[in-house]
Structure 1
Amino acid sequence: MNNPFHSLRKVLILFSFILFGGTLGYRLIEDLDWLPAFYMVVQTVSTVGFNEVIELSTSGTWFTIVLIISSFGTFAYGAGLLAQLAIDGRVRHFLLTKRIERKVEKLEGHAIVCGLGRNGRQVVSKLRAYGADVVVIEKDEHRAEEFRNQFQKVLVVVGDATDDTILEKVNIAKASSLIAALASDTDNLFVVISARQLNPNMTIGARANTESTERKLLAAGATYTVSPNLVGGAHLAHNLMNPGVMNFLDHLSVGGSSATNIEEIVVDELPEVFSGCNIKDLEIRQQTGCTVIGYVCEQGLLTVNPSPDFKVAPHSKLYVLGNDEQIKDLRAWFTEKTK
């Protein structure tokens, strides 16, 4: 955004020119030394009205009149400019933007969310529930301001997410992930292409409204895509046919701060002694109260509700279910095991 202080800088430059020009004028017209000449300029432009250092000549009088008119116009313009900046909030907005940019520059491993529509807001809410550092890019200033007031710990940058300059402002090179949740598939495609070029290693999720767009987004560099229309339609159908099951699933949360959560355990992140052991040997249930409800092998095959004697192989993942307290115990247990 434009620096509102640039206008004030112009006023200061003009005022400095008046001081210097006035001093030089009195020296040339009235043959005064530098200090008396400068004193004459100061008392003239400030309208203090002390007696002149010397009796002015006709040329000096006309010069003084011009100096008074020019300085008065400059002061009036400067005062009006200050009032305008104070009323329209440009200075406050500029300082807020600079403060946010300084905070963003210090972030590493943060998540970037493009767009604050319904999907974008939901994404930010879930990411904050995980405790992730989130930076949002939103084009609409009013919506961005409203969201800042709602989520105090979320950094919101006003700008066009399809612009590489804005992506660089949110420190995309050091970000771990990006979610393109803009309303337009074309905009999301541009964001994915730019993000993949600026950070080849980041995880990129993108909203897609059609199946053809999903393929294009994946080809452009998206790690995965989600279609709100398809997900919403499937959810409506399942609610119709299995309302009780869907009501149960709605109470589950994949991480975050829900009463019941599902968490992922990557076996390779556990100590080597656990590689190749049975699920019961991990003692997840005994140590945390969580229940193992799923297992995914290296090939991506899912085993639902594996038995306690099920052998855990390298490069696999476990999925556990627990309430909020149990999940906290699980995270503490996992942190201790991975030290």
Structure 2
Amino acid sequence: MYRIEEPRLGGLRIKEWRRRAHLALGLLLLVLLASTLGIALLDHSEAPAGAKLFTAFWDAINLITTLGDFSDFNADQKVFMLAAIIVTMVVAGYALRQLAGMLSGDDVMVFWENRVMERKLETLSNHVVVCPFSPVGQMVAARLREAGSAVLVLDSDAKQADKASRLGYMVMLGDHNSFDDVLERARLDTASALFVTGSDPNSNLEITLVAHTLNPHLRIVVSGENELRRMLLQKAGASTVIDQNDIVARAMVVRVDAGEAQRA
């Protein structure tokens, strides 16, 4: 699901986690450098300077990674290593405390989910958009998917959007104040059709107008309850206006006529 009103806290948490991770890494590198220099300076053997430095670096790496494959230490080095171990434990504890749990919040999950959906939307084409996921919209979406179409559901109701997502549809969620942004990001420029399936006539008219403005060549199918509404929707850009009441009435009459014919 792609949420237009994405919580900004998710992105801020990730940025803060990266800042803290860089700080923790910097502290560990500082401990590594200080340990290497300290062990090398306290090495009183007759070994060449390069060998001393390499051995010191090896011991420092073992200290940081806790591998434990140390070389033999003299008394001064043992005292230094004791202090270095304490410092390493403090730095590691600080790093874990700063980083633990920061990427497990719901806002972070929403952030990553949006990033995944953004990549899908970038390549989306020849899809069918259903807006909203009303009872009629659910039937339309199901039949379109059965016919092999890629269906993108748009809705402003979080419960309906969650339901569509659980059913496996691609979903975009945005409240009424940001629904123009939802339509702009629904890739109407590459869509094959838009089905407007809401029960609010004014909302249907607004969606039709915005969608036609975004893509004048888009096929838009929308329901209209009377002749005046049909005219308004057609002027707004609707390709097909369906009167649901008329369809129901015709179906009822056909059923009655068929029943009378059978009795006759």
- Matched residue, 1:185: 201
- Matched residue, 2:22: 16
1:232 matched to 2:253: no
Distance (Å, rounded) in 1 between the aligned partners of 2:24 and 2:150: 51
- Matched residue, 2:171: 156
- Matched residue, 2:230: 214
Q: Choose which of 83, 92, 107 in structure 2 pairs with 1:52.
A: 83
How far does the alpha carbon of each residue in 1:141-162 deviate from its partner, in whole angstroms, 9 at most, with x for none?
4433333343x4x422333587
Conserved 8 A contact 2:20-2:99: no
How far does the alpha carbon of each residue in 1:292-313 deviate from its partner, in whole angstroms, 9 at most, with x for none?
xxxxxxxxxxxxxxxxxxxxxx
Distance (Å, rounded) in 2 between the aligned partners of 1:190 and 1:128: 26
Q: What are the equivalent positions in structure 2 for 1:37-186 lying under 5 Å apart? A: 51-52=82-83, 75-76=96-97, 78-82=99-103, 84-85=104-105, 88=106, 90-91=108-109, 93-150=110-167, 152=168, 154-160=169-175, 163-186=179-202
Cα distance, 1:202–1:141 mapped onto 2, change above 3 Å: same
Cα distance, 1:175–1:19 mapped onto 2, change above 3 Å: closer
Q: What code does the residue aligned with 1:102 have?
A: R
The root-mean-square deviation of aligned C-alpha atoms, in Å, is 4.3
- The answer to which structure has the higher strand fraction is 1
- Matched residue, 1:242: 257
Q: What code does the residue aligned with 1:51 have?
A: L
Conserved 8 A contact 2:234-2:241: yes
1:36 matched to 2:42: no
Q: What code does the residue aligned with 1:10 have?
A: E
- The answer to which structure has the higher helix fraction is 2
Deviates more, 1:132-141 or 1:207-216: 207-216
Residue 104 (structure 1) shift: 3.3
TM (norm. structure 2) is 0.63
Q: What are the equivalent positions in structure 2 for 1:288-299 lying under 5 Å apart? A: none
Conserved 8 A contact 1:100-1:157: no
Structure 2, unmatched stretches of 5+, are 1-5, 39-62, 67-79
Distance (Å, rounded) in 2 between the aligned partners of 1:52 and 1:246: 100
Distance (Å, rounded) in 1 between the aligned partners of 2:102 and 2:261: 59
Distance (Å, rounded) in 2 between the aligned partners of 1:13 and 1:198: 40
Residue 224 (structure 1) shift: 1.9
Residue 21 (structure 1) shift: 8.4
Conserved 8 A contact 1:178-1:205: yes
Cα distance, 1:17–1:173 mapped onto 2, change above 3 Å: same
Cα distance, 1:217–1:19 mapped onto 2, change above 3 Å: same
How far does the alpha carbon of each residue in 1:111-154 deviate from its partner, in whole angstroms, 9 at most, with x for none?
2111111110111122223322322212334433333343x4x4
Q: What code does the residue aligned with 1:112 have?
A: V
Structure 1, unmatched stretches of 5+, are 27-33, 54-63, 248-339
Q: SS at the partner of 1:172?
A: coil
Q: SS at the partner of 2:124?
A: coil
Q: What code does the residue aligned with 1:123 have?
A: V
Cα distance, 1:12–1:238 mapped onto 2, change above 3 Å: same
Cα distance, 1:112–1:14 mapped onto 2, change above 3 Å: same
Conserved 8 A contact 1:112-1:178: yes
Cα distance, 1:107–1:51 mapped onto 2, change above 3 Å: same
Deviates more, 1:171-180 or 1:158-167: 158-167
Conserved 8 A contact 2:233-2:241: yes
| Larger RCO (CA under 8 A, 6+ residues apart) | 2
Residue 96 (structure 1) shift: 4.2
Q: SS at the partner of 1:168?
A: helix
- Matched residue, 1:291: none
Residue 201 (structure 1) shift: 0.8
TM (norm. structure 1) is 0.51
Conserved 8 A contact 2:198-2:204: yes
How far does the alpha carbon of each residue in 1:194-247 deviate from its partner, in whole angstroms, 9 at most, with x for none?
1111111111111234543332211211112123334334433443x3244999
Conserved 8 A contact 2:7-2:107: no
Conserved 8 A contact 2:223-2:243: yes
Residue 95 (structure 1) shift: 4.1
Q: What code does the residue aligned with 1:175 have?
A: A
